Amino acid sequence: MRSIVAHPDLELVGCYAWSPDKVGRDVGELCDLGPVGVAATDDVAALLALKPDCVVYNPMWIDVEELAGILAAGIDVVTTAAFVTGHSLGAQRRARIVEACAKGGSSIFGSGINPGFVDLLAIVAAGGCERIDKITVTEEADISGYDSPATELPVGFARPIDDPELPAMTAKATEVFIDAVELIGDALGIEFDEIVCEPEYAKTTHDVDLGSWTIAAGCVAGIAASWHGKVGGRSIVELRTVWRKGQTLEPDWPIDTGHRIKVDGCPTIALRLDVTPPPDFVGTTLNDFMRLPMILTSMPAINAIPKIVAAAPGIVTYADILPLPRGLVSL
């Protein structure tokens, strides 16, 4: 909201309220900005009647029918929810989005939560190569201070280390990475034979207290999930996340916090992405510093709005608005 209000090319005309206590209140006051003259509402029909050029859509998980209704009404969408190319939705649900775009003459752009902005950097880096052998994007983080059981338990945290259902759980909970692999493949101009998740796990040797929940000794406290886009059995794109909780992990995975990008080829290019506060940053708590990745998540979507409004109908990705390194993969 702050970035929309401050953006010189954007005008806020409406805002959806997710909780009843916000309905009727000035949006700016809800966000500690001071009055902006727009009241929050939970009336979706009233918001669509405003005929905005674009909706910024930010739930944790998308509602396909809700999205289709917005797009079919002729309103473009940018989103930070679990949507990049739509492939992780399955063919039928993705087709529903495409059909709605065609009906309304509208476009949708998903910047990604995680994956997201870092995959754009991988595409840009690959543009410096004359031959590309493999692209690897790695995220490592000690998330001991992140208390979000609703998003972490489905990935497999706290399950017994020998639970045979773990690989399927991890794949299901992180399937938006399919979109990110497809995005990079599209930028490279290749089609994958398969996209697969290959997870690894580590257990904790002592109970780990995370605030609202606990991981018992002998259960999963470390997850390394690699999503591979493969051609002929060879991994061309690998998106890897390594997350750990607590200091009693077995095996004791070292964590190099941040994102790393490596493009193997000619030349080989390696990048590191660190997110740090500016000199004027005011904040000391974990919640204060969580604002930084939230900004990094939101701004690619916000900054894309003028391009998405001008785009042809359909699903728009980073691959549609960048010079691309197509035809350079060594197969």
Is residue 331 situated within a structural domain?
no
Residue 304 burial by CB count (10 A; 0-12/13-18/19+): exposed, middle or buried?
buried
Please, are residues 50 and 141 in contact by the beta-carbon 8 Å criterion?
no
Within this chain, do residues 124 and 209 fall inside the same structural domain, yes or no? yes
pLDDT reported for residue 279: 83
Of all residues in the chain, what percent are helix, strand and coil, respectively (each to 5)? Answer: 35, 25, 40
Q: Which domain holds residue 31?
A: 2-114+299-320
Is residue 314 situated within a structural domain?
yes
Please, are residues 214 and 208 in contact by the beta-carbon 8 Å criterion?
yes
pLDDT reported for residue 291: 79
pLDDT reported for residue 285: 64
Please tell me the total count of domains within the chain: 2
Is residue 327 situated within a structural domain?
no
Which tokens go with 273? 């992405």
Within this chain, do residues 17 and 132 fall inside the same structural domain, yes or no? no
Within this chain, do residues 276 and 131 fall inside the same structural domain, yes or no? yes
Q: Which residues neighbour 123 within 8 Å (Cβ) at sequence distance 6 or greater?
A: 183, 184, 187, 318, 319, 322, 324, 325
Is residue 330 situated within a structural domain?
no
Within this chain, do residues 12 and 91 fall inside the same structural domain, yes or no? yes
Please, are residues 144 and 245 in contact by the beta-carbon 8 Å criterion?
yes
Within this chain, do residues 143 and 261 fall inside the same structural domain, yes or no? yes
Within this chain, do residues 247 and 137 fall inside the same structural domain, yes or no? yes
Q: pLDDT tens for residues 285-329?
A: 656 667 787 888 888 899 899 999 999 999 999 888 776 677 778
Q: Which residues of the chain have pLDDT under 50?
A: none
pLDDT reported for residue 288: 66
Q: pLDDT tens for residues 23-75?
A: 999 999 999 999 999 999 999 999 999 999 999 999 888 899 999 999 999 99
pTM of the model: 0.87
Within this chain, do residues 103 and 190 fall inside the same structural domain, yes or no? no
Is residue 63 situated within a structural domain?
yes
Within this chain, do residues 196 and 248 fall inside the same structural domain, yes or no? yes
DSSP label of 141 = E
Within this chain, do residues 127 and 224 fall inside the same structural domain, yes or no? yes
Is residue 326 situated within a structural domain?
no
Is residue 289 situated within a structural domain?
no
pLDDT reported for residue 148: 86
Please, are residues 141 and 243 in contact by the beta-carbon 8 Å criterion?
yes
Nearest to 71 by CA among 94, 42, 89, 40: 94
Within this chain, do residues 101 and 135 fall inside the same structural domain, yes or no? no
Q: What is the CATH number of the domain that holds 94?
A: 3.40.50.720
pLDDT reported for residue 147: 85
pLDDT reported for residue 15: 96
pLDDT reported for residue 321: 77
Please, are residues 14 and 37 in contact by the beta-carbon 8 Å criterion?
no
Q: What is the CATH number of the domain that holds 220?
A: 3.30.360
Within this chain, do residues 52 and 125 fall inside the same structural domain, yes or no? no
Is residue 132 situated within a structural domain?
yes
Within this chain, do residues 100 and 248 fall inside the same structural domain, yes or no? no
**Helix (H, G, I), strand (E, B), or coil: what is residue 17?**
coil
